[in-house]
Chains A and B, each alone.
Chain A
Amino acid sequence: MSLNLLLQISPEVTPSTLGTANPVSIAIFFVFVAVTLYITYWAAKKTKTGSEFYAAGRNISGFQNGLALAGDYMSAASFLGIAGMVATMGYDGLIYSIGFLVGWPLIMFLVAEPLRNLGKYTFADVVAFRLKQRPIRIAAAAGSLMTISFYLIAQMVGAGSLIKTLFGLDYEIAVIVVGIVMTSYVLFGGMLATTWVQIIKAVLLLSGATILVLLAMAKFNFSPGELFQSVKSQYGENMLAPGGFITNPFDALSLGLALMLGTAGLPHILMRFYTVPDDKAARKSVFVATGFIGYFYVLTFFIGFAALALVGKDAILSLDKGGNMAALLLAENTGGSAFLGFIASVAFATILAVVAGLTLSGASTISHDLYVHVVKRGVSDEKGEMKVAKRATIFLGVLAVALGLMFKGQNVAFMVGLAFSIAASANFPALLMSIIWKGFTTKGAVWCMITGASLALILIVLSPTVMVDIMGNSEAIFPLKNPTIVSMTLAFVVGIVVSLLQPEKEAADLFESEKLRTYLGHGSEK
């Protein structure tokens, strides 16, 4: 990547310096890429075996993994998007961000420890533990790959347009640069490099957002009261209270369940629990992650309101009608173009880290679940598996770039909701029932996952989200914007009914012996 690529300035004239090549952001971005590629080089020397490639040798500490989980979860979309939502819709942005946080306690209570004790590299390990490998692996891989693909499309398209706005770089070049850098992390440095990229990114993002809030709050004498007062006097008290975001309680509940339980079914998040030495470290990492993510959403709440008070709604909306530039405009307003450059490069780093995590998790699904357990029927040699994992990484890197280019200019915001919906409807119910229910069977699990994934997909296409907002129809066949309340409930029902109709004695017997591993960690992967 040469410097002149980065200096192609977009012709649009904007009231701020956004969209022009900012020397500070280019410098910081280059330092970030240089440091992370150096880490990748260091990690590559320690990444030879499967356990090293997929799980960083299970040597990541609970605290480090907590930061990395937060890094995986705090996307540029949540940084810029939620701050933007608060800046344009006020309090409603907070309701949305709370939905993203409340899944974390459930990960702690329901899945983190059993997942670490039972599994090896993917969440399908846990579902397949006492059931028949091949059907489970195929169904779980389908659910994982669908979740990852939709999430990836949303991130890549977001990356392209964001970088275009931030750096004035062409959309296509931005997507290709992101694809090449993140593929290098995963391909050469595996989970170890990906983890450190997440940790650095999380520290950068949290400290950048903290400085931004401090700079902005200085203008209000560090008093939240003065900030809210200023918002109230300029835009009225309704900005500080719930508005139109929740009107239909079923819609709200359905989206809420998707965000909450989908978090506990995201393959790239679940995969991180295998990087720590034991269940004790797994639970510590959830506590750390929940703290940082919660703190981050409090910051975005203040960033949004400060942008509203200092930059103004019209200025924010004139640059991007979704309000996504609110945080960046606030950075420029409070810290000048150098600080804008810093925050912009943090946003870029954020995207790189998130797509790297997704790609690694997709590669492990293809090589570990599909190649080893379906093609090779569980008999793998490590060399062959690693070869497939690396090829899968390159394939996913190319696919991510291709999807990013293909969906250019499309409205892909709904795909994040769709990814969460599939995760909540297909991955989470199967994972939960395999952990807690003795009577859960292979057929039950497969039908549960098929029902959840296909209903989530079909119903979203028939929902107002796609039929009205994207296809422009006046009405939709399915009334709710998010299908999870239906698709997840039916996935549970189908899983339970099918399991009851045809019990699987072997699976029930194995459930007893797997308890030693689930609850005592006896025989867990070290």
Chain B
Amino acid sequence: MSKTNTHEILQSAAFKKLVKNRWNVSLSFTFIMLFVYIGFLLFVAYDKETLKMPIGDSLNLAIVVGLGIILFSWLITGVYVYWANNYYDEAVKEIKKELI
């Protein structure tokens, strides 16, 4: 790989878009996760009564929200993997073609 080639890749619109998309997705997902978790902590700190609200016969909002966050944390990593495998990796493949 020659020096100019490296430079061309780094300056190419495709590569710039790749990096930009990657951080748009990553940082949005990070903020969603922070929002969900910090939101949960503040909810618990400021409004314990609402969390006692019964759901169905024997569940309450607190249990549903708590277990829901565990499920959500796993699912959001799944969504990221799906995006990365299908979109990010494809874009990388296209750019690498030019690199070699």
Contact = CB atoms under 8 A, between A and B. Distances in A.
A519 B22 contact: yes
Interface residues of A, number: 54
Interface in A417-436: 436
Contacts of A225: 56-59
Interface in B4-23: 6, 9-10, 15, 18-19, 22-23
> What 8 A-B pairs come out closest when comparing CB atoms?
A225-B58, A249-B45, A109-B26, A241-B52, A294-B70, A228-B58, A94-B66, A242-B44
Contacts of A436: 23
A17 interface: no
B37 A102 contact: yes
B33 A513 contact: no
B41 A246 contact: yes
A405 interface: no
Nearest to A62: B81
B77 A108 contact: yes
Interface in A227-252: 228-229, 232, 237-238, 240-242, 245-249, 252
A280 interface: yes
Given A252-B41, A280-B85, A287-B77, A106 B33 contact: yes
Nearest to B47: A242
B88 to A, nearest CB: 9
A287 B81 contact: yes
- B contacts with A: majority SS: helix
Contacts of B36: 102
A308 to B, nearest CB: 14
Interface of B: 1, 6, 9-10, 15, 18-19, 22-23, 25-27, 29-30, 33-34, 36-38, 40-42, 44-46, 48, 51-52, 56-60, 62-63, 66-67, 69-71, 73-74, 76-78, 80-81, 84-85, 89, 92, 95-96, 99
A522 B18 CA distance: 14
A407 to B, nearest CB: 31
A526 to B, nearest CB: 15
Given A260-B37, A287-B81, A513-B6, A102 B73 contact: yes
Nearest to B76: A105
A98 interface: yes
A304 interface: no
Contacts of A477: none
A242 B51 contact: yes
Contacts of A238: 52
Contact of A232 (B33, B58, B62, B76): B58
